Amino acid sequence: MHKLLEKIFDWLYPLLRKIGLGDTLASYISLIFDIILLCFIAYFIYVVFRLTLVTIMAIVAKKTKTNFDDLLVSNQTAKYIAHLIPFLFIYKSVPIILEDYVYWESIFGKMVGIYIIILSLWIIRSVLKAFRDYLKDQPRFSDKPIDSYVQVIMIVLWIFGIGVIISKIFDITTNTLLASLGALSAIIILVFRDTILGFVASVQVSLNDMVRIGDWITFDKYGADGDVIEINLATVKVRNFDNTTTTIPTYSLISDSFRNWRGMLDSDGRRIKRHLLIKAKSIRFLTEDELQNLKKIQLISQYIDVRQEEINKYNKTYNVDKSLSINGRNMTNFGLFRKYITQYLEHYPGLNKNMILLCRQLQPTAHGIPLEIYTFSKDQRFEQYEYIMADIFDHIIASIVYFDLEIFELPTESNSVVN
């Protein structure tokens, strides 16, 4: 290679000397000619390789089934490689052209060398970006923080590249440079603290499968409530349900508490857990006439018959005095209403009957007796879930009057006037 370059650039100077030109004039003319020739050859190499590489890569991308080569084309990898080749030619040619100009040869040689290093890093970056996009399209890796790993690799490569550039500029050996970096390690750690913490967090998040891209998470500390759209080295982006975007530090995923709804979405149902407050004074025993009237409600008609027979048998066995309702065993409007709601939930088509389904009474409060519905909807989608829950409670609120029960409400001006 060296001999070929000498033949290309070292022939004009001897020719000019033979025809009688002075040493200085011949040297300058030869230098100018060699620089023009170098630029022309470098540009020719660039055009040839750009057309060749881009065309070949485009043809290969069309004929192969994998889309990795398509991503290489879209990330302009061939274009960057086409830029690199002529600069390698220039880098090899500069020492020959500027052989008699040591100072300028050193400056231009370093400049071209630095550009080659940066261009090489840019090529690696484009390949890594294509590889990242390729993995994101694969179902196995679509929910993994690929961006974080690519960023870490690029940071390491940039540190290495900057080290080589510094050693080239100041003519420092690699050992001396590494020793200097060791002395500055505390400062480096301080500067890259967030990056280091983010990398550690990304690895732990990935290994422990804490968060995937596409997961619905709720992070009250940062006001995030939506789907994870990106996980990179420093931040996690969450698209909230109001279409705003919240940026969360990656390290906070392992240092703070957040809620991941993936388990619910992967399960067979979404939990409905809501209660109504029933006025305590509206709860009472039911009379025979009231029970006969409530038998018209089809869902509990058979239950009332069976239950009434059991109660009558018990009261008769123990000679219970029924002149007072409190004696013996009795049915209450609240208990019968809970049974009715349970039966209603059992027959409701939007609930998963293979999961917990109950209507229960909670600890009494100053505002009444909480009647809680605890069940799971079949459909986990937000719109359908809200519809199912509202439909159930619409029915409960409307049917409560049939059992002569009252829902607790704070006193209002209209209530006080009526009362």
410 three-class SS: coil
400 by Cβ neighbours in 10 Å (0-12 / 13-18 / 19+) ranks as buried
Percent of the chain with pLDDT over 90: 32
pLDDT in tens, 187-207: 666 666 777 777 777 777 776
Q: What is the mean pLDDT of residues 43-63?
A: 81
Q: What is the pLDDT of residue 188?
A: 65
Q: Which of 152, 154, 162, 239 is nearest to 197 (CA)?
A: 152
The pLDDT, as a whole number, for residue 245 is 93
Evaluate if residue 12 carries a pLDDT over 70.
Answer: no
Q: Tell me: the pLDDT tens digits for 69-127?
A: 777 777 778 888 888 888 888 878 777 777 777 777 777 878 888 888 888 888 888 88
Name the β-bridge partners of 365. Answer: 368
What 8-state DSSP symbol labels residue 317? Answer: H
Q: Between vectors from CA 329 to CA 334 and to CA 335, what angle results, nearest 5°?
A: 15
Range name among 92-101, 167-176, 181-190 with the lowest pLDDT average: 181-190
Poorest-confidence range of 3-17, 204-218, 223-237, 274-288?
Answer: 3-17
Confidence of residue 231 (pLDDT cuts 50, 70, 90): confident
Average pLDDT rounded to a whole number, residues 154-179: 74
Q: What are 361's strand-pairing partners?
A: 371
Question: Do the beta carbons of residue 326 and residue 285 sit within 8 Å?
Answer: yes
Confidence of residue 4 (pLDDT cuts 50, 70, 90): low
- Exposed/middle/buried for residue 9 (C-beta within 10 Å: 0-12, 13-18, 19+): buried
- What pairs with residue 371 in β-bridges? 276, 361
Position 235 pLDDT exceeds 60: yes
Give 121-135 pLDDT, tens digit per residue.
Answer: 888 888 888 888 888
Instruction: Indicate if the pLDDT at residue 151 is higher than 60.
Output: yes
If you average pLDDT over residues 361-385, what whole number do you get?
Answer: 92
Q: Give the whole-angstrom CA distance, residue 251 versus residue 391.
A: 41
At residue 402, does pLDDT exceed 70? yes
- Sign of the dihedral defined by the CA atoms of residues 304, 364, 371, 376, in that order: negative
Q: Confidence class of residue 16 from pLDDT cuts 50, 70 and 90?
A: low
Quick check: 260 pLDDT over 80?
yes
3-state secondary structure of 378: coil
∠ at Cα 152 (147, 153), nearest 5°? 100
Give the pLDDT band (50/70/90) at residue 342: very high
> If we measure between CA atoms, which residue out of 46, 48, 39 comes closest to residue 97?
39
Range 150-166 average pLDDT: 77
Q: Which structure tokens are listed for 188? A: 């480096």
